[in-house]
Amino acid sequence: MDRFGELSSDSGSHSPSLVTMRQSLPEISVDIDACYLSNPLATDLFWSHFNSDSLNDPQFIKRMFEAYPSQNRDIAEKLAPMVGADPGRIFVANGATEAIQAIVHNYASHMHVTLPTFSPYYEFAQPWQRVTTFHLDPASDFALDPERYVQSVLDSGADTAVLISPNNPNGYLIPDEHLEWILSSLRSLRTVIVDESFVHFAGRRQSSGLPTLLGITNQFENVTVVKSMSKDFGVAGIRAGYAVMDPARVTELLGKGYLWNINGIAEYFFSLFARPRFLDEYRRVLAVYRGQIDRFTSITSNIGGLFAYPTSANFQLMQIAADHSADMVATLMLIRHGVYVRNCGDKIGLDGEFIRVAIRTEPENERIVEALSDVLN
């Protein structure tokens, strides 16, 4: 498996994509992608609408390819009712990573990040930018202690703080009252980034619309909310995300070349939010998928040879027993069972042997559990 190791090394702090794996290692059958994080039921829902519209309109795809998509502000207008924010505050992005990069490069000079976390938040830092850290404790299930965290941010002298809730890679959701207290205590900062890319899986109660932290965060002028669409809607391939921020910052970013950063398929995806039927169907499949997440995590907590951390996201972080190697576990799951999981050996802030497993459909989850049990026991 030397070539697999080389492929992983060439991908940096992210895992090789499924397409790259199949092209570079055709002798390995990858049957289940439990590495990249998405809602497979929502992927099927999007695909059904796309296919139906294609069949009903023979020119549908041709127009999408031959014409420029709408500008950023026009797409923000379509997205605003679903997001629950004024369109002037929405920066539509080519995936959440583009929004992260734009915010980090333009509105931060010294960032304070929790570890472990989604690596672009510190990888995108330029040489002139400083990054300091707050380490989460695995003994406390990576829970964020509000008082210790706020004190750490203030002591660091940072002008920007980054919070992901639920956090990647451990799935911890910051309770609403803790998040509100933290944001209130950090009003003096230039920017506080709250990444809610996995919040749909957390089961937060909403009176209307879709789950979001905006109801808390929009009380604070220095807060920017980042949202990926690939995780909850299962459309990673079309690169769609957004950030909600101060309108002046949106205007400034659009003046720096982001007017046409969305492709035609992504614009079509955003247009689906204007269809009540699509949102109703999405809420139903989300409820089904949450049930599958609950069943998966109830089973993995009983597998010998690992400790599965509680999660409020659609993935689970697992610490492998000391007599096993996470790299070997991930490799054997791939070779023996065709199950591709994330080896977290390159995750800064994880001291030990960890893998992260994306939660899939019910039949796939059964095979993932079988693969874990076989390799570990």
Burial 39-65 (b: 16+ CB within 10 A, else e): bbbbbebbeebbeeeeeeeeeeeeeee
Q: Which residue bears the tokens 């059964």?
A: 366
Of 259, 260, 226, 228, the residue nearest 241 (C-alpha)? 228
pLDDT at 205: 62
CA 302, CA 315: separation in Å to the nearest integer? Answer: 16
- Residue 2 pLDDT: 56
For position 21, what pLDDT does the model report? 64
pLDDT-flagged residues of the chain (< 50): none
The Cα 183–Cα 122 span in angstroms is 20
Contact 135, 154 (CB under 8 A): no
Look at residue 254 in the predicted model and tell me its pLDDT.
94
Please compute, for residue 1, the number of CA atoms within 13 A of its CA located in the half-sphere on the CB side: 16
Reduced to 3 states (helix: H, G, I; strand: E, B; else coil), residue 344 is helix
The closest of 14, 357, 36, 34 to 228, measured between CA atoms, is 36
Domains and CATH numbers, the chain: 2-44+279-376 (3.90.1150.10), 69-275 (3.40.640.10)
